[in-house]
Amino acid sequence: DAGVIQSPRHEVTEMGQEVTLRCKPISGHDYLFWYRQTMMRGLELLIYFNNNVPIDDSGMPEDRFSAKMPNASFSTLKIQPSEPRDSAVYFCASSRGLEYTGELFFGEGSRLTVL
């Protein structure tokens, strides 16, 4: 398997623009997680899905952030409008179900810079 695939790897945009980050989880994994990593706040869980359904979005910072998972092989994280404080590395991760031990498999991340 190719692992968790994220795109783009790098994104530079201007304040106010819409940003869409994409993720393809590992086939057969039914949990998908979006994390954000910054120097100041470390690794933060934004939202996670189980079987394409959002389970907990309490980590989403505000209404400018939204995430979708239209099918088992694709998820998006959208920021509209983007702000400089959204600059971070955004990671997608997937895992198998609760009956397994739950280790996460991470993508390589999308580094977002908002000017």
For the chain, helix, strand, coil in percent to 5 are 5, 55, 45
Nearest-CA neighbor of 104 among 10, 1, 30? 30
**By the rule CB under 8 A, 82 interacts with another protein:** no
Could you tell me the two tokens for 96?
Answer: 């198998």
Cα–Cα–Cα angle for 54, 57, 27, rounded to 5 degrees: 40
Q: CB under 8 A: which stretch of 62-70, 71-79, 80-88, 97-105 binds another protein?
A: 97-105
| Closer of 72 and 104 to another protein (Cβ) | 104
The correct pick among 38, 56, 80, 83 for binding another protein (CB under 8 A) is 56
Our CB check for another protein shows the closer of 10 and 16 to be 10
Nearer to another protein, 41 or 70 (CB): 41
